[in-house]
Amino acid sequence: MTRTLTVAEMTLRETARRRGVLLMLLVLPLAFYLARRGDHLGQSIRFVCLGLSWALSTAALFVGSAARSLEPRLRLSGYRTHDLFLGRLAALWALGLGLSAPYFLLIRFDQHDVRYGAIAVIMLIGVLVAPLFGLAVSALLPRDLEGMLVLLTVVGLQMILDPAGNAARLLPFWYSREIGTYAIDHTSAGYLDRGLLHGAVTAGLLLAVVAVAFGVRLRRRPHVRIV
């Protein structure tokens, strides 16, 4: 437990010193929100949720890449693989909560006639899923640049694809649009249920990807025997 918490604490300290990352985290969702504020009701909410998810995923991507050079040494020092990725996730989840709270309040007071509870749900699922997505991408792709391209593509597709179509469900943030429809257009609860299911499945799948990718990369090699 101490080990996981230490990793989480150091991740938070590191991220707090990365001005570029912090700036992006704070400004990007706001830019998304303001860009669509003049549009018809609710577009800005959809976009700010997407922006938050993208910003958190990107932060997770950078955290994952930066940590790579240290991880072999941490393993040798006695950390188990799950200490490492759970610690980083814990830090990112905490960061996500801290980031989302002001935006929720913004929506609470700036937008009217929407289901605030559902919007809170979208944000909570986003806090859960986005860091998992970013960390999974960084675990699978060794370089920042390729990871960023993947994130860009996903977010771009998320905006373009028709959420009703089947292809859109394969995207990690589809739940956001589905529950968003429920919250903004006051549709039936079916949208909420589908969104929750998608969120849960996505979170589970991504966590498995992270665990396996980390496990393979940092595995104990078979030729070594520790006496």
Partner 1 sequence: MRYEIWLAALTDELRRHGVGPDLAGHVVAEAAGHLRDSGEPPLRAFGPPAAYAAAVADSVGGPVGPARAAVGPVRLRAIDIVKRYGRRTVLSGVSLAVHAGQVAAIVGANGSGKSTFLRICAGLTGADGGRVELHGTVGYCPQAGGTADFLRADEHFALIGAGRGVPRGAAARDGARQAAALDWAPGDEQARQLSGGTRQKLNLVLAGLGDPDILLLDEPYQGFDRGTYLDFWHEVWRWRDAGRAVVVVTHLLNQLDRVDVVLDLSAGDTGVAA
Distance between CA atoms of residues 72 and 50, nearest Å? 34
Longest C-alpha distance within the chain, in Å? 67
Compute the chain's Rg from CA coordinates: 18
Q: How near is the Cβ of 11 to partner 1 at its closest, in Å? A: 9
CB of 16 to partner 1, least distance (A): 9
Provide the minimum distance between the beta carbon of 75 and partner 1 in the complex, in angstroms, as a whole number: 8
Least Cβ distance, residue 181 to partner 1 (angstroms) = 40
Residue pair 132/151 in contact (Cβ under 8 Å)? The answer is no
Specify the residue, 76 or 145, whose C-beta has the smaller distance to partner 1. 76
Query: What distance in Å separates the CA atoms of residue 1 and residue 179, rounded to the nearest whole number?
Result: 35
Number of other CB atoms surrounding residue 219 within 10 Å: 10
State the Cα–Cα distance between residues 21 and 24, nearest whole angstrom: 5
Provide, rounded to whole angstroms, the least separation between the CB of residue 9 and partner 1: 9
Instruction: Please report, as ranges, the residues that interact with partner 1 according to CB under 8 A.
Output: 2-3, 6-7, 10, 13-15, 17-18, 66-67, 69-70, 72-74, 76-79, 220-227
C-beta of 1 vs 189, nearer to partner 1: 1
Alpha carbons 85 and 87: distance in angstroms, whole number: 5
Q: How far is the CB of 5 from partner 1 (least distance, A)?
A: 9
Identity of the residue, 17 or 112, whose beta carbon is nearer to partner 1 in the bound complex:
17
Neighbours of 19 (CB within 10 A): 8
With respect to partner 1, which residue has the nearer C-beta, 9 or 146? 9
Considering the complex, state which of residue 3 and residue 194 has its C-beta at the smaller distance from partner 1. 3
**Is the separation of the CB atoms in 136 and 129 below 8 Å?**
no
Question: Beta-strand (E) ranges in 64-218?
Answer: none
List helix spans (H) across 18-70: 19-35, 43-67
Question: Which CB, 15 or 158, lies closer to partner 1?
Answer: 15
